Structure 1
Amino acid sequence: MDTTDPRPLFARATEQAATLIRTVRADRLDGPTPCAEFDVRTLLSHLTGATVRVAVVAEGGDALAVRPFADGVPDDGWATAYDEARTRAARAWAPDSRLDTPMRLPFGELPGRAALSAYVLETVTHTWDLSEALGHPLELDPELALFALPVARRMLPEERRGEDVPFATARPAPEGADAYGALAAWLGREPLSRA
């Protein structure tokens, strides 16, 4: 049985994302990201909306009832919107009982600790996407990627990729890749400099 408490890692992952989001300038919002279908603005919307979704799940709500994008956020409001979402999520996950409560996610029912681990993975991955889009303005916490990589390998094995899974085929990590490079490769992402 998994006894990992992912809440401290989720807090670190959302703090890292928030720090990076605060560096986004308005002239970068229409720029590309490693998610071909997302520009920076859409990526910020998804990071914020997914964080609201993880709060709703812990509050006992239905993840499927929450759109994983934030609507109506002004271009200068992303840092505030994300901070509000992560504060709500931290509050929702504070009770220890949440870790073993079954939670319904878009991809199935999982115990709380596994559900939150999936959202650590999502946050860490999209933080890398944003960092790539912004030209790596900050050094990313390697321990977060080292946690997220085995979660990704367990939750997104190569044989489960397909039309319903929003990740490309895994590709080999570049020689000398750090944990973020290995995670990005497993999720089928290309750095923007090579895409």
Structure 2
Amino acid sequence: MTITDSAQQTDPRTVYFTAATWVSALLGAVRPEQLELPTPCDELDVRHLAGHLVSTVRRLIAIAELGSPDSVSPWSSVHDAGSFDALVEQARAAWADDAALDAPVVVPWGAVPGRSAVWGYARELLLHGWDLAVATGQPADVDPALVEPVAEEFRAMLPPDARIPGVPFGAVVEPRPEAGALERLANFSGRSSDGWV
């Protein structure tokens, strides 16, 4: 499967930073008493999921600087919107040069062009944003136009028949008939909506 022309022509940075604005609002609305709540991510409560979202931005910055994302822990004790926003601004500066999108970089899933890295981390924000939203009772819908290019890239990168043990995405879950675009993306990644929506 190949990525459609519309996904190829979309600047992944636009998608990423729009998703980051949504995630920031979610983080800002998490109440202290919600930090211990479970999430659709196995074994992650809200506190750890929020800290992971912060760490994903740090990792994207490291990738832009041609470092290894493995040099940055996937977990952070910092999980507030202000810290997230400050890192997003650093990421915006780190990825400002258009040439960065075609430069070879190293990501946890291999060596790829920079644009593939940004797509991957946009997917992280949307999927974990959905996790955070449903775990804390916040609206879990975003504009389908934001989700679709990420979904196209994801389907091309990891089709259902390519899922193997150890890959951090489970078998595709059949979506509810009324599921929106983001919930369908979560289902495609292997997350079940049961008990969350």
Global fold match (TM > 0.5): yes
Contact kept in structure 2, 1:132 and 1:192, CA below 8 Å: no
Count how many residue pairs are aligned between Structure 1 and Structure 2. 191
Contact kept in structure 1, 2:34 and 2:46, CA below 8 Å: yes
In structure 2, what is the equivalent of residue 18 of structure 1? 24
Contact kept in structure 1, 2:104 and 2:113, CA below 8 Å: yes
Deviation at 1:137, TM superposition (A): 4.1
Structure 1 residue corresponding to 2:53, chosen from 25, 41, 47:
47
Percent identity between the two aligned chains: 36
Contact kept in structure 2, 1:149 and 1:182, CA below 8 Å: no
In structure 2, what is the equivalent of residue 157 of structure 1? 159
Contact kept in structure 2, 1:32 and 1:38, CA below 8 Å: yes
Contact kept in structure 2, 1:33 and 1:192, CA below 8 Å: no
Tell me how far apart the structure 1 counterparts of residues 83 and 174 of structure 2 sit (CA, whole Å).
Answer: 36
Q: Which runs of 5+ in 1 are unaligned?
A: none
User: Is the aligned partner of 1:190 residue 2:192?
Assistant: yes
Deviation at 1:163, TM superposition (A): 2.8
CA-based RMSD of the aligned residues comes to 1.9
Letter in 2 for 1:175: P
Letter in 1 for 2:118: L
In structure 1, what is the equivalent of residue 12 of structure 2? 6
CA-to-aligned-CA distance 1:88-126 (integer Å, 9 cap, x gap):
111110111101101110101111111111111111111
In structure 2, what is the equivalent of residue 118 of structure 1? 120
In structure 2, what is the equivalent of residue 168 of structure 1? 170
Q: Which stretch shows the higher mean deviation, 42-51 or 172-181? A: 172-181
Deviation at 1:139, TM superposition (A): 4.7
Runs of 4+ in 1 over 4 A off after TM superposition: none
Q: Which runs of 5+ in 2 are unaligned?
A: none
Tell me how far apart the structure 1 counterparts of residues 178 and 24 of structure 2 sit (CA, whole Å).
Answer: 28
Deviation at 1:192, TM superposition (A): 5.3
Secondary structure of 1:104's counterpart equals strand
In structure 1, what is the equivalent of residue 148 of structure 2? 146
Tell me how far apart the structure 2 counterparts of residues 41 and 3 of structure 1 sit (CA, whole Å).
Answer: 36
Letter in 1 for 2:132: L
Structure 1 residue corresponding to 2:67, chosen from 54, 61, 65:
61
Letter in 1 for 2:85: D
Deviation at 1:194, TM superposition (A): 5.4
Deviation at 1:52, TM superposition (A): 0.6
Deviation at 1:164, TM superposition (A): 2.1
Q: Please show how residues 82-101 of structure 1 align to structure 2 within 5 Å.
A: 82-101=84-103
Letter in 2 for 1:58: A
Letter in 1 for 2:89: T
Q: Provide TM-score, normalisation by structure 1.
A: 0.90
